[in-house]
A and B are shown apart, each in its own frame.
Chain A
C-alpha cells in the first residue's frame, strides 16, 4: 500500500503549507505550483528528473580547483601550498553571494564553470568528506570516536563515497538503493534506472537492481555479432533467437534465459532509441568526458521512447591521484571537466530540461595542502560542485576552511578534517530526486548522526526541494 509521499506533505511536516511563504525557510523551499499538480498516484513527481554523478577517481586536489582570492586568505594558501599554489592573477574570479565578503576563484582551466557559478547555476559544497559522526580534531587525533574505515585508502574511500556506509565495507551503493526504491517510476522492464558510462560500479549496484552500462561512443553492450550478416553471425543470430524462443520449464533455466533475453532486448531497444535522437546543436568536445555527457544527453532525449521518468547516470573519470605533476595534470583534466559541464548545461537548455537534471561531483578525498615536491598525497575533506537549474547557485554550502596549517580543522600535512558529512550532500540530492525525509535512513544508514529527518529543513540547501 502506498502512502502519499509528495512535496506537499513534506512541507506540511515543515509547517509550511502553501505558496508565498514568508518564513526564512521559504527562500530555500520553492514549491512550483505547476509541478505540484503533476504529482502522480505514487506521490512522486511525474516530471522527468535525473541525477548525473561525475566521479573524479583518485582524489581530486580540490583546494586548487576552488581557491581563496582575498589578500589574507590567498597568502595563507600560497604559504601552505608553496610551489603548487596557483598564481593569484591566474585565478578566475567567482562572485560568492553568501561569502561574507571573502573572495574566491576557480582554477584557470575552468572558465565556463566560473560562468555557470556566476549565473547561479552552480554551487560548491566545501570541506566535505566521509564521517561516521561529527568529529572534532581532538577526537580524530585521539581516535576516540568511530572513524571511516581505511581513511586515505582509495578503495575504501571510493567505496564509502559510493555506498554512504563509512563504518563497514558493503557492496551496495546509495544510487543502487535509490533505484531499488524508485525504479517503478520507470515503465521500461528491460533497462534499469541507473545508467553507467563507466561499467560496473558500487555506486549504482542495488539489492534488486543493477546498472545498465553504456559506452560513451557506441551505446549499450549487446551480444556481439547478433544481427550481423557476415560469417558465423547468421548462424549465431539464428541460434540465439531459437534458444530465446524455446520454452523452459525448469525454473533455473527459465530464470537464466529471462535475464539474458531481457538484457538483449533492452540493448536492442536502447540502440534503436539512441540512433533516432536528432543531432543536437550543442557541440561536444571529442574527449571521453564530453562524449560521456553527450551520450547521457542522448539518453535523456530518448527518455519517453525508453520509458524513463527517473534516472541516475554515472561517469567515472579517473586519474586524479596526483602524487606527481599536480599542476600539469589538473590543467588538462580540469579543462576536460569544464568543457563537459559547459556542453552539458548547453544541451540541457536545448532540451528544456536544465531544471530537471542535477549534475554533481564526488571524489575519494581531496589532497594534502602541502607539496611533496611536485604533487600532493591523500587527504580527506575537499570541495565538490553541483550544477543545474534546480541548484541554488552562486553560493557556498558548508564551510570553506582556513588553509593555514595547524588550524582547528587541519589534522597534519594539510589534511582537512571534513566539517560537512557526505551524508548531507547525498541526502539532499536524494530528496530532490523524490525520496521523502522519512525514507532517508533506509538509503543513508548514518543520516541521523548529521540530520534530523523531521526538521523540515533541507540538509544543506543547495537544491530547490
Chain B
C-alpha cells in the first residue's frame, strides 16, 4: 500500500513557473512559507495520491486544487470540494468552454410556481387571501433567485449574470419591490445573454419595462411645445454614463484621453443628452396581466397592470420623429419608426470605442481585481472589439479574456502588492454557502435575505440607486488612496457593515443557519459540516480543508497559527470537534485572508 504523503504548502503552488529563475524550493525562502508533512492519513475526497517530489516541483495535486479553488472564487458563487476537483481535473479553459455550452438556468419561470406555493402555505396557515399581495413581490424574487442559484449547474453563467446586473442596475429600492416578476424577468436578460452579445444586452435592457420604470423612459412622450414639456432625460443619461461609454473618452487600456491642455475629454454634453432623450420616447408597456381594469396595454398605464416579462412596445404617436443629432456627427434621420430609432441609437453607442475599455474594466473589477494594469484592460478591450472571428461585443470572448489573463491566473501576480480586491459581502456569503455546503430538510431554498441585507447592505438588485452599491473609482481613506489605487467594494465596508458581516458569520458558521425562515413550521436551510467532522480530529487537517475551499490555499501563517491555537484545546469527541469547526470557520470567514482576494 503506497503510503500517502501529503505536503501542506502555505502559499499556493502553481503549474506555471515563476518569472524568477530560481527553482521551486524558493518557496521556502518566500515570506511565510513552511512545508510540513503529515502522513498515514487519508482524508475523504482525496481520490488521487500525491507524492512529495511532485509537490515540490509544482506539479502536484495541492497546487492544482488551490488554483481551481481560486478560479471558482473569481468565476462563480463559490465552489465546493467536488467542483474544485472537477475544475482541477478538466483544466480551467476546458471547464469554461463546457460551461458556455450549457443551457441557461432562468429565474423567471420559477416566479409563478413559487408565488402560488407560498400563497397556498399562507392560506393553509390561516392567512387571509385578501391580504396576500396580488403580484409576486421582492420576497418571491429572492426565493426564486436562491432556488435557481442553489440548483443551477451553469455556475459561470450565473456569476457573470450577477456581475452584469451590477453594471446595468435596477433596484427593488423603488416601486419595483412590488414587481418581483419584473425583477426576475430583467435579471434573466443577463442569464440568457451572459455569453451572448453585449449589443443584445443593451437592446433588451432598453426595452424592458423594469428598466423603463426605473429610469423613467416608460410612458415618456415626445416634446409638447405648447405645454413647454420635453422628454425625460434619465435613461438617455444613464445608458451613456453607466451602460456603454462612461463620462470620458478612453484609450484601449482604460486610461482617459487628454486634449492639448491635458484635460479629460467628455464623451457627451448635456445637449447630447437632450438629443438622445428624443430617441427614447413613445415606449409603453407591451402587454397586461389579467386584471379588473383594462384588457389591452396602452401608453401611459405605467407598470401597475403590466406583464413585466413582455418588452415595451412603441406607441408611434408619442414618439419624437424629428431628426436626432447624436455623437460624432451621427444623425438619426427624421420620420423613422421609433423602434428603428432606438435600434440605431443603441448600435451607435455599442460601436463607440469606449465600450470595450469601459465595460471591460468594470467586469475585471467585479471578478478579479480592483486595479488591473493597462495591459490587462487592453487585452479585454481587444477581445470585446473582435472575438477573433470579426465579431464585436462577444461576451464569451470578453469573459475568457478576463478569466484566462495572467493577472487572473498566474500566481506570481498574487504576490503583487497592487493585486487584490475586497470580495463583495454578498459573494462572501454565497462562497460560504456553496463552498461549505448546506443541508435542507424542507427542500425549499426560500431565502428572504432580510438579515443578510440588513447586515451586509448588499443583496441582489437592492442597491440604493442605479450606481450600484459601490463606484468603480472609489478610494478608501488610508494606504489605498495614498497609493492612488481604487477599491470599490470598500465603499460599503463601514463601521456598521464590518460588524454586521462578522455577526452574520455567527449565524452562518456557528449557529449553522444559512437561510433563516420566518415560516411556521420553519424552512431553515442549515450549514452542512458533515464532511468536516472526521477531519476535525486533527486541527491542521481541518484548517487545511477550510483553507482549500475558502482561501484557496492562501491562509497566511499568522492567521493559521491563531486559529490553530484557538481550536487546539478542544479535544475529545463529537462536541469538541464541532466546536473546532465552528470556531475555525468563523475565524477564517472574518479574517482578512478570506475577505481579500489576491
Contact = CB atoms under 8 A, between A and B. Distances in A.
A208 B496 contact: no
B592 interface: yes
A248 to B, nearest CB: 6
Interface string B417-454: 10011100000000000000000000000000000001
Given A224-B506, A239-B583, A267 B499 contact: yes
A176 to B, nearest CB: 11
Given A222-B499, A264-B499, A250 B227 contact: no
Contacts of B240: none
B547 to A, nearest CB: 16
A251 B477 CA distance: 11
Given A212-B496, A260-B498, A254 B559 contact: no
Given A170-B465, A250-B592, A225 B506 contact: yes
B583 A236 contact: yes
Interface string B218-258: 00000000011100000000000000000000000000000
A144 interface: yes
B174 interface: yes
A236 B592 CA distance: 16
B499 A263 contact: yes
A171 B464 contact: yes
Nearest to B490: A255
A12 interface: no
A239 B566 contact: yes
B299 to A, nearest CB: 15
A148 B530 CA distance: 55
Given A239-B583, A251-B417, A259 B228 contact: no
A25 interface: no
B503 A242 contact: no
Nearest to A253: B592
A224 B503 contact: yes
Contacts of B559: 243, 246
B596 A223 contact: no
Interface stretch (B186-194, B340-348, B478-486): B478-486
Interface in B565-582: 565-567, 569-570, 579, 582
A389 B464 CA distance: 36
A255 B499 contact: no
Interface string B190-216: 000000000000000000000000001
A445 interface: no
Interface string B161-189: 00000000000011101000000000000
Contact of B420 (A223, A224, A250): A250
Interface residues of B, number: 60
Nearest to A259: B498
A210 B228 contact: no
B175 A155 contact: yes
Interface string B443-474: 00000000000100100000111110000000
A236 B227 contact: no
A240 B478 contact: no
A256 interface: yes
B433 to A, nearest CB: 20
B487 A238 contact: no
Interface residues of A, number: 55
B500 interface: yes
A149 interface: yes
A143 B227 contact: yes
A358 to B, nearest CB: 25
Contacts of A202: 464
A438 interface: no
B582 A232 contact: yes
A254 B482 CA distance: 13
A156 B215 CA distance: 12
Nearest to A267: B499
B596 A256 contact: yes
Interface in A210-232: 210-213, 221-225, 232
Contacts of A260: 498-499, 502, 590
Which of A169, A171, A235, A252 counts the most chain B CB atoms within 10 A? A252
Nearest to A225: B506
Contacts of A222: 499
Contact of B457 (A150, A200, A251): A200
B495 A208 contact: no
B563 interface: yes
Interface in A385-415: none
B227 A142 contact: yes
Interface in A6-42: none
A262 interface: yes
A275 B386 CA distance: 65
A105 interface: no
A255 B479 contact: yes
A239 B587 contact: yes
Contacts of A210: 494-496
Contact of A266 (B495, B502, B586): B495
A242 B216 contact: no
Contacts of A212: 495-496
Contact of B500 (A170, A192, A221): A221
A272 interface: no
Nearest to A264: B499
A153 interface: yes
Given A239-B563, A252-B420, A232 B465 contact: no
Contacts of A247: 558
A256 B592 contact: yes
A143 B485 CA distance: 45
A152 to B, nearest CB: 11
A200 B592 contact: no
B480 A259 contact: no
Nearest to B500: A221
Nearest to B215: A169
A212 B496 CA distance: 7
Interface of B: 173-175, 177, 216, 227-229, 417, 420-422, 454, 457, 463-467, 476-480, 483, 485, 487, 490, 493-496, 498-500, 502-503, 506, 510, 558-559, 562-563, 565-567, 569-570, 579, 582-583, 586-587, 590-593, 595-596, 598
5 contacts: A153-B175, A243-B559, A248-B592, A255-B493, A258-B478
Interface of A: 142-144, 149-150, 153, 155-156, 169-171, 190-192, 199-200, 202, 205, 208, 210-213, 221-225, 232, 235-236, 238-240, 242-243, 246-248, 250-260, 262-264, 266-267
Given A224-B502, A250-B417, 5 more contacts: A171-B463, A235-B570, A246-B562, A257-B592, A260-B502
